[in-house]
Chains A and B, each alone.
Chain A
Amino acid sequence: DAGVTQSPTHLIKTRGQQVTLRCSPISGHKSVSWYQQVLGQGPQFIFQYYEKEERGRGNFPDRFSARQFPNYSSELNVNALLLGDSALYLCASSLRLTTYEQYFGPGTRLTVT
């Protein structure tokens, strides 16, 4: 079974641009969560989607948005990029709306210049 996959692996963008990151959950998993890890810190929660509905949102500005598709894959969009958005963005999937088991992808490294 394939694990959680994310694309792209790396991305370089300029301040003010927009970016879309993609995540495919483990087959059969209906929940996808997004986390941001800035260098030197632990991952911080951005969004959770379950059955295509937003079920949780962390303390991030409205420039961050996400959606989940009928096949349960998900996209994270960040508008008007700032230098501080440079980070590793992790996607996690779980079978249910629960924190008991979350499986992570390898992340997308975003660099904003």
Chain B
Amino acid sequence: ILNVEQSPQSLHVQEGDSTNFTCSFPSSNFYALHWYRWETAKSPEALFVMTLNGDEKKKGRISATLNTKEGYSYLYIKGSQPEDSATYLCAFAATGANNLFFGTGTRLTVIP
């Protein structure tokens, strides 16, 4: 079982604050790193799939970076809004494996 860790476990921020979370994963046998946004009672929504060391991806106010050599990825949210409140999951894909290895998620609450 591969170890994927996310921090912090939960986070409360004020509307308008910027925030970031960390995902740590094995630095060997890397294939891809996924970020999902998951609202309660809904399907996890794919945010980013990152494959190359140094990759930076952006979707509106949300961006992510990837460092495969040291085994970490950061997710940034600029100017948090209440609708950003959700659990953010990262998942590691290893070469040769057909499944994703998930972290436990970071639960973000944005206070209006």
Contacts and interface: CB of A to CB of B under 8 A. Distances in A.
Nearest to A49: B98
Nearest to A42: B102
Contact of A99 (B89, B98, B105): B98
Interface string A64-101: 00000000000000000000000000100000011111
Interface in A10-68: 33, 35, 40-45, 48, 50, 55-56, 58-59
B98 A42 contact: no
Contacts of A58: 99
Contacts of A33: 98-99
Interface band, chain B? 20 to 34
Nearest to A59: B1
Q: How big is the A interface, by class? A: 20 to 34
A2 to B, nearest CB: 11
Contacts of A35: 100, 102
Contacts of A40: 104
Given A55-B98, A99-B98, A42 B103 contact: yes
A62 to B, nearest CB: 19
Interface in B55-112: 89, 91, 93, 97-105
Interface of B: 1, 4, 31-32, 34, 36, 41-44, 46, 49, 51, 89, 91, 93, 97-105
